[in-house]
Structure 1
Amino acid sequence: MTTAYADGVDAVRADGALVHIRTAMPEDLEGLTELHDRASDRSLYLRFFSAGRECAQRYLPSLVRPADGDHHTLLALMGDRVVGVAEFERVSPEDAEVALLIDDEQQREGIGTLLIEHLAEAARDAGYRCFVAETLAENLTVLRLFTDLGLPIEHKFEDGSVQVRIQLQIGPGAIAASDRREAVADAASLAPILAPHSVAVIGASARPGSIGHQVLRNIVDCGYTGLVYAVNPHCDSILGVQSVASPADLPVAPDLAVIAVPAASVLGVVRACGARGTRGVVLLTSGFGELGEAGRAQEREIVRAARHYGMRLIGPNCLGVLNTDPAVRLNATFAALPMQDGGVALASQSGALGIAVAAVAARSGVGIAQFVSMGNKVDVSSNDLLMSWERDRRVKVIALYLESFGNPRKFARIARRIAATKPIIAIKGGRTPAGELAGRSHTAAAASSDVVVDALFTDAGVLRVDTIEELLDAARVLGSQPVPSGTRVAIVGNSGGPQILAADAAAGAGLDVVTLSDETIARLLEVAPRAASHHNPVDLSAAADAGQVGRAVQVLLEAPEVDAVLTVFTETAVGDPVAVLARIAQVALGSTKPVVATQVGGAVGVTPARDDSAPVPVFAFPEPAARAIAVAARYGQIRAAIPAPAVPLGGVDRAAARELVAAARDDGTDWLDADQTARLLIHYGITVCPQRVVGDADAAAAAAIELGYPLVVKAAGGGLHKSELGAVRVGIADERELRTNVAEIAAAVPGTDILLQPMLAPGTELIVGALQDQRFGPVVMIGAGGVLSDLLADRQFALAPLDEAAAARLVGRLRTAPLLDGYRGRPVVPRAAVADVIARIAQLVDDVPEIAELDLNPIICHGSTLTVVDARIRVAPAPRVPDPVLRQMADR
């Protein structure tokens, strides 16, 4: 840990400004001296318990000595100025004393919390368990800082001072506290970009058709409410906007600089904007990372410059940003985007796709609250935007087009929190059939990047869709209608054919075309006696007028067995579609259940009620309408899910498991042998078939007496595909047959040991697997096992760890799950028993990240007894996992 902060990291403080955190070096003595010289007498008294400055001066040289396991000092810098210092000193094998000092002018902006967070990571890496500190009882700021970390803390008051003891082990409280701080800070850091009070277009041009000209024109023509300036050394005015020669000449320091200059000039412009006091940059220029390593190196220089001056940056190679808020009205893009106010916030890595989505959204009645084209996203990412939109009251639905993730685990935590109140709909580009991990296990072969993304979205509560059309359709329903409390849909219309198609589409999308109760049918008979059908779908006949339609929709909305209503109407000579839709919208107003309308063959849009609130989305055909309701129902399930408190698994020996894997790694082991594998699984309470590993036929014959016939005989090598090598023999009935098969396996796999197991009775076979994904962390898999594993490819994935409830949901998503429930007379296998095994494997790979791949295939299930009969585990160096409470910009 002594060199991890040599180059430093950047972080966002509470007010949105940036700080740079790094290890103190001898050359920092002058900066630390200046920090202490600027400190007030009060600050020095609270830090050193002394009113004099001599103590501080004597102490300063110790802060810049080289970091080691006994001592570490971190600095916070804004630009080149030291604004904070925190250090720890060893006081016992497991305890370190911590202290800090923050510049008087920068206090209460979160710098101290950031320093302690990063210092705690250094201490954990050095093997410490606790921070201890002594502070004056009157130093409420520091006491609150320690408490707000969310770590277990003890206070002991004595003679006007407080002895503080902070446990460094990270738990849910610390993660939640860190996430709350980060959300507030990130939103503040993006405000100068998303809602600036002043904008400067650097590279503005008088030449129509140029990017710099179009951006400035959009800002002006769309009615931006703030101050706007142009920077062009050859013009005094462009489009009626004052133009200056350079950023240094701007009359005010702009909140936002929109940069549209050639790539070679970008770095100098970014530095000039920073020197002028700009707080945010939208970099439209292309020609960087998308072109290769040289461009990526340029991007790194640009990011370093932006962060040195405390600026957030969107891009490069992006379209720009849009905010339709009437108080802002900013179109800082070079596209003709509609400024229709609405509730959808859209982030896209593709500018062209963003243009298309915004345009189609406007035509279909979906207003855009904000749009951000992230481009190469060298700084601001989808994680940042999610946190900014989390508390934005204008944003009702968040839509994402993503091609990559910066920090997937952080994305999952952020999205899971937001999804409790706002739906997140996502398209993930770049589906690939090939797995990214070059492993030899079934799990690694099956875990393509796309199925792991599915697992991430499921874990995060994100609604994944496949097309732009589906994204917009779902956004229209979720942005205007109540969230359905279930999947039961009633369909009502005036023509049988389209309603049948609607019912088929609804069932295909996972909705339940519910059977109406006798009471509901009776009420429908009263309000629509001439209806062709009073069952679901309800066919009111072609002669139905707006009044009958409204009354029927009202009955269905009041039916307790109905969660959502889909209306399907075709224009007829006697029916006025405008009146019908208006009546549907009026009835839907104030309902707690969603109503979605279809005007078959008509225009896509919305039909507002008389007061223009809660518009009903209108579709041209029933199939997309049904699919959109299904997405909304999925969100209802996400929002209704109540996280269960974590219950520790019994029968787990983490220490022994870690020791076993560490010993194997020290020995240079790649695949664990059969005995190591069995012991590791037993440490996590997983039942393993009895076995013996032997070296020759004589030892096999002796082991067979202990195990009993019939036997399974196989090669013992952990990394082998035994069945493909002919190295698995079953049903061995006696010693003569045993010796013959041992000889044949030894010939097929020279040098292998032989594994013997008693042959279990046939049962339901499952596969449970796990792997460490380099981007997503530990992933677990459940599927049909044995010979069906590859044939059926019935597999489900989830991110680890997961509790038994989440594991049970994973089991339920298998196509073959009915086999566990006694399908056609098969023995019942309790799903809870299967979920328990999955949860234990998930905990194992989370606790022991050196487990790179794991296959349990098959697990043979007899009732509630699940026995692993074949297992393979590969170990490797653990991937570096970002500290979940560490706030730094580098890992986004």
Structure 2
Amino acid sequence: MARQTGSGLSPARGPDAVSADARTADTFTADTFTADTFTADTFTADALTVDGRIVRLRPVGPGDADALRDLHRAISDDSLYLRFFGLSRSAAMDYVDRLVTPQDGRLTVAAWLADRLVAVASCERTDASTAEVALLVADDCHRLGIGTLMLEHLAARARAHGLRRFTAEILAQNELALRTLRDLGLGMSTTWESGTALVEMDLRPDDDTIRSVHRRGWSAERASVRHLLAPASVAVIGAGQDPSAVGHQVLRNLIDGGFTGSLVAVNPHHDAVLGVPCVPSPAQLPCGIDLAIVAIPAAGVLDVVRGCGARHTRAMVILTAGFGEAGAAGRSRQDEILAAARQDGMRLVGPNCLGLINTDPAVRLNATFTDLPVPAGPLGLVSQSGALGIGVLDAAGRAGPGVAQFVSIGNRADVSSNDLLAAWADEDRIRVVALYLESVGNPRTFARVARRVADRKPVIAIKSGRSAAGRRAGRSHTAAAATGDVVIDALFRQAGVLRVDTMEQMLDAARVLCDQPVPSGCRLAVVGNSGGPQILAADAASAAGLEVVELAPGTRRALRQVVPDAASADNPVDLGSAATPVQVGDALSVLLAADEVDAILAVVTRTAVTDLPAVLDRIAAAAGGDKPVVACCVGETAESVRVPGAADRRLPVFGFPEPAAAALAVAARYGRIRSADGPGHPARPAGIDREQAAAIVTGALAAGAGWLTAAEVERLLAAYGLPTCPQRPATGVAQALIAAGELGYPVVVKLADPGLHKTDVGGVRLGLVDERALRAAVADLTGGRPRALLLQPMVPPGLEFIVGAVQHDHFGAVLMVGAGGVFTDLVADRAFRLAPVGPGDAAAMLDELRMAPMLDGYRGAPAVSRERLADLLIRVGSVVEDLGEVAELDLNPVIGRGTELMIVDARIRVAAVPPRPDPLVRRLPL
């Protein structure tokens, strides 16, 4: 990088320092760099600063000369000296002239806050794999993370052009520049020469780089929605006198809810609405309003967005419909308002949404047009559907748990569930996050952010559209199996998200997780005063994955001591219809003290001798410990009862045992998620030759191939260290006999058509022990005509698996493992994850299979090494992550026996794909 200041690094040395030899070096090929693509490279990206503002990044263009001169004129003498190693303003202007003049071997990035250019970065190649980098940030924009953002984008573009290193020269006193480089998380070495730091950075990312980028993104995302969720000032645009109008209802809710900040309305026909002062247009709003709520017809929204942007409004909620949900014209309008909001640095919720709520006593914001009372509580709720949001708010108000914050994101043109998850991770008032999603914007970002939140608090989600999942058009088993809903399940598992199917299940689980401790295991005790409902509860619990545990002898004796007349001291524990409230409480105490019990479901039926309120009081008193207690009052109304002595704890009470058991099962699932080590970072296995594999794919695409030949498949898999079975091609009997002689009998012969499911068409002959058997098999397969065949040695029997991957249109690379061979479709025992995966996710995939016990040597069968199989999954995940052109991949069967794995049959289809964005570059989605 060169000579940075708090504002920047020094000018790069330029092309004169590059020798002719370096420019034509053998390693400097068209695959790694071409001058045309280097200088013609274009992009536009919006990203977030440390304080949550939106900065626009793009290359420098000829029209930027005046803005660049203004930037360089405005910097202080100190910044000028640190940047240019001198105080010559003319040198800075000369540098501007160079930047706006296209030049081979140079990449540039300019950063804009609204209409002001505030920073510029560039790199210029010094040899085939190295570029010197320079950076300047305006004095008043230091410590906003803009320099780091620009260098992230510059590094990604440099990597795409085959560059491997950045270098920079920095004055020793330029501590901010050195810290900016360190913050990138790239491998960095520094030597010192006459008061100057000579820095070299390895552009290849590692785990530290990934963590650094994610940490910066996380912090910026949280800051960017601060003004949205907890505004100090709100403007309602479209608030009128008609009580039935949306704008009036929003303003009424803000007033009645006791909003603690300042309010202003926009209405050209009134001086005040509901006592709130009005201005005639957004252009007359006070400067720097935190949040604008827009409730006007769609045709006028763009002008409103531009007007609010001109007044430096921080965020907007657009309630108006008629945008992305309304067809092509609406989508075009939505794109326009998003572009306008981004241009002026505003975050945007909606359009076509219900609004948002924050019940924090310091905020008291109800910026919705619903008339429902919204009691405060520990739930954070995101909903793409306004109608569903109203239903959940209503139910949460009646039976708990109450809401801390609610955001209806509507069309989610900008702010999405990812932003809100990041904001709520450290929000103490939110103990559980609930999501209703109709789509997932950026699946990889969702998985990363949700996993981080799930490590701290439960995330429950409903994803609609299960029945709309369709089959993919590919011909591999994996592509057919990887439907959208299956991949959503895999995404949620990877992210630690608790998926449920209905609104009722979501709220039931939220009630338990908000108000009771997380179970440390899945062992459940069912206790109550009537046998039938308790048996139903036990059945429901078992079906949901809980273990209705056998009670220890000591526990049963203790129960008999406190309730001598109990009908049963076994689990379920039937205390009898005459059990008193005291006896119910004593029995609960015994069960809570039992080491073999992780959670309790108390099922109570109203009888002539049952004092139901007193029994509930006893159950609530027991629910204040470190094990979860849930109650079911059969046939009664669901509610939440305060736990004595615990202001933040309530006892969830259900009307029937089945939903109570299901909610406890979701809580137990979260307990397993929280106690697990997690998926970890995706692993990069040793012994990979990505260049060789990429050359195979490139050659096949150039030849117009779809399915790779058997020889190409074998070479590609070998490049990733995957264990393939030896094979020989043949086209008739003579060649087959030679191949068998080389491989050794017994052999397998199969049709070599890569597009076939060979067993489906009878294209395989197994266990051929001699020449006679081989001749007969070849004749049978070919009908006496020349036909491509493949011979392999007969592999000893073992467990058969399918391992596959597919490039999903929306989710990217998806990895699958399951029961293989003839069982692939018959039993459909499969597990999925988004690729790449680490050891944790690979191990979890194996644990999810119904055949998982067979890996450990079920009933005397040979075991299969989980570690070897997990490594194979990691390597296949690396194939499809590295090579986006690998559209479908099936390894079926993979035969495992002990520590030996052998890929017996493999098919790979390749297809051209557009360039993929660098996952380590932070940018707001378009």
Q: Normalising by structure 1, report the TM-score.
A: 0.96
Aligned to 2:641: 607
Over 3 Å counting, the alpha-carbon distance change for 1:7 and 1:166 in structure 2 is: closer
- Asked if the contact 2:374–2:393 (Cα under 8 Å) also holds between the matched residues in 1, the reply is no
How do 1:98-113 and structure 2 match up within 5 A? 98-113=133-148
Q: Is contact 2:682–2:837 with CA below 8 Å preserved after alignment?
A: no
The corresponding residue for 1:697 is 733
1:345 aligns with 2:390: no
Residue 492 (structure 1) aligns with: 527
The residue aligned with 2:10 is: none
Q: Hey, what does 1:682 align to over in structure 2?
A: 718
Cα displacement (A) at 1:292: 1.5
Q: Which residue of 1 aligns with 2:278?
A: 243
Query: Which residue among 452, 462, 465 is the counterpart of 2:487?
Result: 452
Give 2:629's aligned amino acid: V
| Stretch moving more, 205-214 or 877-886 | 877-886
Out of 409, 419, 435, the position equivalent to 2:444 is: 409
Matches within 5 A, 1:139-150: 139-150=174-185
3-state SS of paired residue (1:498): helix
How far has the Cα of 1:827 moved from its partner? 3.5
- 2: distance between equivalents of 1:650 and 1:183? 30
1:120 matched to 2:155? The reply is: yes
- For 1:536, give the aligned amino acid: N
Partner residue, 1:858? 893
List per-residue Cα deviations over 1:314-342 (Å, max 9, x = no partner).
11111111111111111111112322111
Which stretch shifts more, 335-344 or 369-378? 335-344
SS of the residue aligned with 2:260?
coil
After superposing the two structures, state which structure 1 stretch, 801-810 or 366-375, moved more. Answer: 801-810
Q: Residues 175 and 884 of structure 1 are in contact (CA less than 8 Å); yes or no, is this contact kept in structure 2?
A: no
How far apart are residue 594 of structure 1 and its match? Answer: 1.2
CA separation in 1, counterparts of 2:864 and 2:53? 56
Amino acid at match of 2:701: R
Give 1:782 shift. Answer: 1.2
**Partner residue, 1:773:** 808
Q: In structure 2, which of residues 413, 427, 433 is the aligned counterpart of residue 378 of structure 1?
A: 413
Query: 5 Å matches for 1:319-398?
Result: 319-398=354-433
Conserved 8 A contact 1:432-1:448: no
In the alignment, which residue of structure 2 is the partner of 1:522?
Answer: 557
Q: How does 1:626-645 map onto structure 2 within 5 Å?
A: 626-643=661-678
Displacement of 1:651 in angstroms is 4.7
Matched, 1:172 2:207: yes
Q: Aligned equivalents of 1:252 and 1:828: distance in 2?
A: 70
Q: Which residue of 2 aligns with 1:597?
A: 631
Partner of 2:131, secondary structure, is strand
Deviations 1:671-712 (A, max 9, x none): 111122122223333332222111222211222223344433
Give, in whole Å, the separation in 1 of the partners of 2:164 and 2:482: 36
Q: Determine if the alignment matches structure 1 residue 794 to structure 2 residue 825.
A: no
Match of 2:921, SS state, is coil
Q: 1:12 aligns with which of 41, 45, 48?
A: 48
What secondary structure sits across from 1:783 in the alignment? strand
Structure 1 segments unaligned to the other structure (5+ residues): none
Q: Does 1:53 align with 2:85?
A: no
Query: What are the within-5 Å matches in structure 2 for residues 112-261 of structure 1?
Result: 112-261=147-296
Counterpart mapping for 1:532-543 below 5 A: 532-543=567-578
Inter-partner Cα distance in structure 2 for 1:649 and 1:356: 48
The answer (yes or no) to whether the contact 2:51–2:223 under 8 Å persists in 1 is yes
Matching residue of 2:98? 62
Q: SS at 1:454's partner residue?
A: helix
- Contact 1:494/1:541 (<8 A) preserved: yes
Displacement of 1:754 after TM fit? 1.0
Q: Which residue of structure 2 lines up, in the alignment, with residue 624 of structure 1?
A: 659
Does residue 24 of structure 1 match 2:76? no
Deviation at 1:578, TM superposition (A): 1.6
User: Does the 8 A contact of 1:64 with 1:73 survive in 2?
Assistant: no
- Listed one character per residue, the Cα deviations across residues 114-172 of structure 1 (whole Å, up to 9, x for unaligned) are 11111111111111112111111211111111111122222223322212222211222
Deviation track 1:539-595 (CA, whole Å, cap 9, x = no partner) reads: 222222222222221222222222112111112223322222222222222x22111
- Give yes or no for contact 2:603–2:634 (8 Å, CA) kept in 1: yes
Alpha-carbon RMSD across the aligned residues, in angstroms, is 2.1
Equivalence for 1:869: 904
Q: Which piece of structure 1 moves more, 408-417 or 540-549?
A: 540-549
**Deviation of residue 13 (structure 1)?**
0.6
Q: Which residue of 1 aligns with 2:112?
A: 77
Inter-partner Cα distance in structure 1 for 2:267 and 2:500 = 44
Secondary structure of 1:662's match?
helix
The 1:608–1:5 alpha-carbon spacing in structure 2 relative to 1, beyond 3 Å, is farther
Mean Cα displacement is larger for which, 319-328 or 541-550?
541-550
Q: CA deviation at 1:71?
A: 0.8
The equivalent of 1:305 in structure 2 is 340
2:732–2:786: 8 Å Cα contact kept in structure 1?
A: no
SS in 1 for 2:143: coil
Measured in 2, the distance between the counterparts of 1:293 and 1:455 equals 32
Distance apart, 1:109 and its partner CA: 1.2
Which range is displaced more, 373-382 or 646-655?
Answer: 646-655
**Pair 1:483–1:870, CA change in 2 (3 A):** same
Cα distance in structure 2, aligned partners of 1:85 and 1:635: 46
Amino acid at match of 1:157: W
User: After the TM superposition, which of the residue ranges 466-475 and 157-166 deviates more from structure 2?
Assistant: 157-166
Residues 1:751 and 1:449: Cα distance change in structure 2 (over 3 Å) = farther
1:508-532 deviation line (CA, Å, top 9, x unaligned): 1111111222232233233333322
Q: How does 1:33-44 map to 2 (within 5 A)?
A: 33-44=69-80
Q: Aligned residue for 2:743?
A: 707
Q: Which has the larger displacement, 267-276 or 764-773?
A: 764-773
> What is the aligned residue count?
888
Q: Is the 8 A contact 2:52 2:221 kept in 1?
A: yes
Normalised by the length of structure 2, the TM-score is: 0.92
Q: Distance in 1 between matches of 2:376 and 2:563?
A: 39
Could you say which residue in structure 2 is the equivalent of 1:287?
322
Match of 2:24 in 1: none
- Amino acid of the structure 1 residue aligned with 2:372: L
Cα distance change of structure 1 residues 582 and 340 upon mapping to structure 2, 3 Å threshold: same
Q: Which amino acid aligns with 1:284?
A: L
Is 1:506 matched with 2:541? Answer: yes
Shift of 1:713: 2.1
Worse-superposed segment, 411-420 or 703-712:
703-712
Contact residue 5 and residue 21 of structure 1 kept, 8 A: no
2:509 maps to a residue whose letter is A
* Larger CA deviation: 659-668 vs 342-351: 659-668
For residues 334 and 291 of structure 1, the distance between their equivalents in structure 2, rounded to whole angstroms, comes to: 21
Distance 1:572 1:382 in 2: 47
Q: Deviations over 1:762-800 (max 9, x none)?
A: 433221111122322221111121222112111111122
The percentage of counterpart residues that share the same residue type is 55
**Aligned pair 1:479/2:510, yes or no?**
no
Task: Map 1:565-584 onto structure 2 (within 5 A).
Answer: 565-584=600-619
Report the CA distance between 1:380 and its aligned residue.
0.7
Task: Report if the CA contact (8 A) 1:348-1:373 is conserved.
Answer: yes
Residues 439-448 or 120-129, more deviating: 120-129
**Distance change in 2, residues 1:678/1:432 (3 Å):** farther
Q: Indicate how the Cα distance of structure 1 residues 214 and 645 shifts in structure 2: closer, same or farther if over 3 A, else same.
A: closer
| Deviating more after overlay: 308-317 vs 858-867 | 858-867
Residues 642-661 of structure 1: per-residue CA shift (max 9 Å, x gap): 24687754554444333333
Which runs of no fewer than 5 residues in structure 2 stay unpaired? 1-36
Q: Are the counterparts in 1 of residues 682 and 839 from structure 2 also a CA contact under 8 Å? A: no
3-state SS, counterpart of residue 322 of structure 1? strand
Amino acid at match of 1:397: V
Maintained 8 Å contact 2:298/2:322: yes
Q: Which amino acid aligns with 1:356?
A: G
